[in-house]
Amino acid sequence: DAQTTPGTEVQASPAAPPAGPTLEQLIEQITDIAGTLVGDEVASETPLMDAGLDSLAAVEFQNMLAKDFQGTSMPSTMMFDFPTAKEIATHLSTQLKGVHS
């Protein structure tokens, strides 16, 4: 019989921080990257192409995301599949949950 010293039980804490960034943190990081490329602030629900991200900047944007979020898949059609920072963040959040679990 293994004995447990009182107070040393390992329990999952309901207040444990999430593994990986929150959706809000992802949105902020993505809008920061997009804003750097277009030279202006980008709202999370504004389509990035409407915000001024052209095709050349879209490639750079995708490369920057791939570097920052290694282990995630970014299809070449990402800007069309997920046109806003919020949609990209949701996509990445789903993928990162698999990486961090």
**Which domain covers residue 72, as residue numbers?**
23-100
pTM, two decimals, is 0.76
Q: What is the 3-state secondary structure (H, E, C) of the chain?
A: CCCCCCCCCCCCCCCCCCCCCCHHHHHHHHHHHHHHHHCCCCCCCCECCCCCCCHHHHHHHHHHHHHHCCCCCCCCCHHHHCCEHHHHHHHHHHHHHHHHC
Task: Say if 5 falls within a structural domain.
Answer: no
Q: How many domains does the chain have?
A: 1
Task: Say if 40 falls within a structural domain.
Answer: yes
Task: Output the domain CATH number for residue 62.
Answer: 1.10.1200.10
Q: pLDDT tens across 37-52, in order?
A: 999 999 999 999 999 9
Q: pLDDT tens across 60-97, in order?
A: 999 999 999 888 888 889 999 999 999 999 999 998 88
